[in-house]
Amino acid sequence: MLPKGLVLLITISLESGVIKLAKKQVLVQELYSIESLAHIDTICLDKTGTITTGKMKVSEVKMYDEAILPKPFNEMMVAFVNGMEDNNATFKAMKKYFKGDTVYNTIEKIPFSSERKWSAISFENMGTIVMGAPERLFEKSKVQMPEEMIDLQKRGKRVLGIAYTNKVIRTPELPELEVVATIILEDPLRKNAKEMLGYFKKQGVEVKVVSGDNPLTVSNIAKTAGLENYDSYIDLSTIKSDDEIAGIVDKYSIFARVLPHQKSIIVKALQEKGHKVAMTGDGVNDVIALREADCSITLPDATDSAKQVSQIVLLNSDFSVLKDVLMEGRRVVNNITSVARIFFIKTIYSVLLSVFCILTNMEFPFIPIQITLIDLVIEAYTSFFVSFERNEKPIKGTFLKTALTNALPFAIVIMLNIIVLTVLGNGMGIEQNTLTTMMYLLIGFVSILAVQEVCMPFNKVHAFLFSTTAVGFYVAAYLFRNLLKLSPLVVEQIGIVAILAIISYIIIFIKRKMYKLSEI
């Protein structure tokens, strides 16, 4: 009753996929994650490091009023980057640009927060330098944010504001500020970003960009990368409550100014709407969302916690190989779903036959060695080779339901044959061992019809597999008839088997035609 060979076949198929992906610098940390990614219909990508390279650099510094600073701007910025302990991509770019050994005595330090969107250091007798999102700093200033800053964000530039106050900042609440400069950073687009997004679109996978950046910046980057719905964006800092997220996840393609905890809310909301979600992330703030996702993906330079919870690590930081992971998953799922009918036929008719034997007080007609031949020649042989074939079709339906639905007609035909032979055997006085032989030959025939269905449409390989399965089963049954406890049949009995085989073929043929009509 147990499709034990199917468990081994699934494991071998998944392991072969892991080996193939390892050659393409993809570390699969959980075997089933290949299958998980094959089922996704939505992928949540971060802008930085995924669509872009994540290697930021300062391209320009625009000064407004350096005179208000107690020390030269460059000197104070060097002291700022030397005193701050942030280690994100933006801060690394700042450290490369503002180089030096200047260090001031620090009174108070507030590290960068995704929620506040700014960081600050208060120096002894010199006031406080604040660095962060320009809109956050300008709203605490007496002047409005210049139009050129908005234009830069629309062009996909990352813009940081630098502000000053002579007060010491000890709380998350900003005092009145004077913006002294803005810093423009560039983050080059990945060479294969367009290819990656285009591929997901072609495969019916919806892309959601989840970023902490300004919505105009993210939208422009998405447009450059070829995202179709680049203008469908929302600034999550404008929503009143996280409860609103569930109602908007299907409406927008870009979510900007996202707080760390909101990433997992977005993933959960998509899952509650029936989506299978993949999530990319590389920081501590992404860990919860990565855990929640159906498939989690990260990079080699991600934090240890992100790598530990992620199922797939892209060792060469190349997101374009996700298509190879997707294809390996589809190969495994589609091929195993196709051949599973051969395994489940035996499961279904074994259960039905057991019930029939109990109700009729009849001895179970088969012995284990007979079923072993079916396992080896019919189930394992063809299924093993078919499972390695390329198959990139989108996955439809669920595995168990599809496999059982495909197997049920064959199992029912086998049971009908057994019932008919049982009735004829009792009426004609056929010995039980002879009757078992007739049943066994028909079980093999109907199971071979299932192999034929798996091998369609025929090509050279499929034709070879089908013909060797059909011939091999009956040749083995004849050669090992004594080991299998099979009895020789007379002409009359062979005729009965042949008639039932023809009827079985007609029933399966009609079923096949009806199935094709239902697909049209």
Helix (H) or strand (E) holding 185: strand 178-186
Angstrom CA distances, 269 to 230, 398, 410, stand at: 21, 22, 41
CB atoms within 10 A of CB 29: 15
Cα–Cα distance, 103 to 105 (Å, whole number): 7
DSSP state of 506: H
CB-based contacts of 96, cutoff 8 Å, min separation 6: 57, 58
Q: At residue 108, what are phi and psi to the nearest 5 degrees?
A: -145, 145
CB-based contacts of 107, cutoff 8 Å, min separation 6: 122, 123, 124, 168
Omega prior to 457 cis, within 30 of 0: yes
Tell me the two tokens of residue 438: 């007739």
The answer to whether 158 and 90 have CB atoms below 8 angstroms apart is yes
Three-class SS of residue 434? helix
The answer to whether 504 and 446 have CB atoms below 8 angstroms apart is yes
Helix (H) or strand (E) holding 38: helix 33-38
Catalytic annotation, residues: 46
Tell me the two tokens of residue 79: 């002291």
DSSP state of 501: H
CA-closest candidate to residue 294, choices 35, 18, 19: 35
CA-closest candidate to residue 275, choices 31, 30, 43, 35: 43
CA trace torsion 436, 438, 442, 445 (10° rounding): 110
